[in-house]
């Protein structure tokens, strides 16, 4: 079977994501870099340079899955999306190896899963934001991210621009999702979606380049293969590709990746986001110049594998989990100003706050042996009781905390004294890697923050 151009674009894009993901986790994210982290970077670069090679493809998948396990739990939308994508890639890869199929078959098997994950990302990106605090310009994350945009965008400070940022977020993400779902509008939806996420990557509020590049790779699953053929056969592209293969071109591309590294090491998320356009720019150019008619998501009829609907169902359950009184972290509710803990809800459609794990809150007055409590205490935040017990159970034997549960009195308890509560409430540690909670900010209105 000859390589399919749309598959090649996806493979190169997921490889570019792997490179930038490695940069983020090694030089930006405050977590340890494991051997699997470096495997992601090496495999991603190899796949970017040789998109149709099996070894780096499966090396990247192995790195993403193993690193996801070792790094968990992490407060990150990017990490949450990456883990779900990696899980789908892993299952599709195992099925491919068992059946001894080609790389094309593997991508077509993964495609419907990746497509539905992307649609879910847009859905939750809108649904969580339907709350009183996201539409409040004084605290909205839409305004905070806009203010961190590079000049001149970030200088636009007025009620009009704040409202445009808030309500424009609802409109754009909804329009992208609707266009992607409608075959006749799909091409336009992919163009707008990729452009929107690269614009988001240029915000200095957080390092968004990795998340945006991951979404770019998922958007390519919706593209018409005819577009890639026309693009890759265009004289302008062929001249550029031949130049990149030359010694000067290879040196220029190495310099480009070096600039990415310098921007990350130097703590310049805006520069990293703008550099992302160096890779995505040609794709946007192709989308603009080579428009196509109605398209279908390739592989969408390949739903015979039971793992696809099961994993998609689990993904959507994870996104809805805050409204079920379950976990709040890694459910795409970050940068949404969402408040559901402690019997309070600011969501305009879910007015009754959920019970379950989110009802009981703890304020830590003083502590010993639990470093995470220093951040919580300094910022005046609360913890879901389950999360408080989780941190105490993971601490050393000398850990203690003076805390207030809900409106009760201050109580000092050691880790040993809490053992009965651990046994009664906590799940096994491997479950807690994925079942965890954001810190709780009870201020009204709720300000925008990276970790809540």
pLDDT digit string, tens, across residues 159-218:
887 888 899 999 999 999 999 888 888 888 999 999 999 988 888 888 889 999 999 999
* Higher per-residue confidence, 301 vs 413: 413
Spatial strand order in the sheet of 410-414: 383-384, 361-368, 400-405, 410-414
pLDDT at residue 299 greater than cutoff 70: no
* Residue 365 φ then ψ, to 5°: -80, -45
Q: In 124-158, which positions are buried (b, 16+ CB within 10 angstroms) versus exposed (e)?
A: bbbbbbbbbbbbbeebbbbbbbbbbbeeeebeeee
pLDDT at residue 4 greater than cutoff 90: no
Q: How big is the chain, counted in residues?
A: 452
Judge if the upstream peptide bond of residue 162 is cis by omega within 30 degrees of 0: no
Bridge-based pairing state of the strands 400-405 and 410-414: antiparallel
Alpha helices in 72-158 (DSSP H): 77-99, 103-127, 141-147
Percentage of the chain exceeding pLDDT 90: 49
pLDDT at residue number 329: 87
* Higher per-residue confidence, 145 vs 132: 132
Other C-beta atoms lying within 10 Å of the C-beta of residue 350: 16
Cβ-based burial of 266 (10 A; exposed 0-12, middle 13-18, buried ≥19): exposed
Please state, rounded to an integer, the average pLDDT across all residues of the chain. 87
DSSP track, 144-199: HHHHTSPTTGGG--SHHHHHHHHHHHHHHHHHHHHHHHSGGGHHHHHHHHHHHHHH
* Higher per-residue confidence, 151 vs 3: 151
CA–CA gap between residue 441 and residue 430 (Å, rounded): 27
pLDDT at residue number 246: 84
CA–CA gap between residue 298 and residue 313 (Å, rounded): 21
**Lowest-confidence pick of 126-130, 212-216, 387-391, 407-411:** 407-411
Average pLDDT (2-23) is 80
> Under DSSP, is residue 379 helix (H, G, I), strand (E, B) or coil?
coil
**Lowest-confidence pick of 103-112, 167-176, 349-358, 433-442:** 103-112
């Amino acid at each position: 079977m000859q390589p399919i151009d749309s598959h090649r674009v996806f493979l190169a894009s997921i490889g570019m994501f792997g490179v930038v993901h490695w940069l983020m986790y090694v030089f930006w994210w405050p977590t340890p870099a494991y051997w699997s982290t470096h495997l992601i970077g090496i495999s991603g670069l190899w796949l970017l340079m040789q998109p149709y090679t099996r070894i780096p493809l499966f090396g990247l998948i192995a790195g993403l899955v193993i690193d996801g396990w070792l790094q968990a739990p992490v407060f990150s939308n990017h990490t949450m999306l990456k883990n779900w994508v990696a899980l789908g890639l892993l299952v599709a890869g195992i099925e491919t190896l068992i059946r001894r199929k080609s790389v094309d078959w593997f991508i077509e098997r993964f495609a419907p899963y990746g497509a539905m994950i992307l649609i879910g990302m847009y859905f939750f990106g809108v649904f969580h934001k339907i709350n009183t605090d996201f539409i409040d310009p004084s605290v909205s994350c839409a305004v905070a991210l806009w203010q961190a945009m590079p000049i001149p965008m970030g200088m636009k400070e007025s009620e009009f621009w704040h409202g445009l940022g808030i309500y424009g977020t609802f409109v754009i993400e909804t329009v992208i999702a609707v266009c992607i779902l409608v075959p006749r509008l799909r091409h336009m939806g992919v163009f707008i979606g990729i452009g929107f996420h690269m614009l988001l990557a240029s915000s200095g509020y957080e390092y968004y380049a990795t998340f945006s590049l991951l979404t770019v790779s998922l958007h390519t699953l919706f593209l018409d293969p005819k577009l890639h053929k026309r693009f890759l056969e265009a004289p302008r592209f062929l001249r550029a590709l031949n130049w990149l293969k030359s010694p000067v071109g290879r040196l220029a591309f190495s310099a480009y990746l070096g600039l990415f590294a310098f921007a990350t090491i130097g703590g310049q998320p805006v520069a990293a986001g703008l550099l992302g356009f160096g890779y995505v720019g040609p794709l946007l150019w192709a989308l603009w110049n080579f428009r196509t008619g109605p398209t279908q998501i390739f592989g969408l009829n390949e739903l015979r594998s039971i793992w696809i609907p099961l994993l998609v169902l689990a993904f959507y359950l994870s996104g809805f989990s805050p409204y079920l009184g379950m976990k709040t972290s890694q459910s795409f509710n970050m940068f949404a100003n969402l408040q559901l803990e402690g019997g309070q809800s600011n969501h305009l459609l879910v007015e009754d706050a959920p019970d379950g794990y989110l009802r009981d809150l703890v304020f830590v007055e003083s502590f010993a042996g639990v470093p995470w409590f220093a951040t919580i205490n300094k910022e005046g935040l609360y913890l879901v009781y389950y999360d408080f017990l989780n941190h105490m159970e993971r601490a050393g034997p000398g850990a203690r905390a003076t805390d207030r549960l809900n409106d009760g009195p201050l109580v000092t308890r050691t880790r040993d004294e809490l053992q009965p509560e651990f046994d009664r409430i906590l799940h096994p540690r491997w479950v807690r890697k994925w079942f965890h909670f954001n810190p709780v900010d009870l201020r009204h209105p709720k300000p925008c923050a990276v970790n809540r």
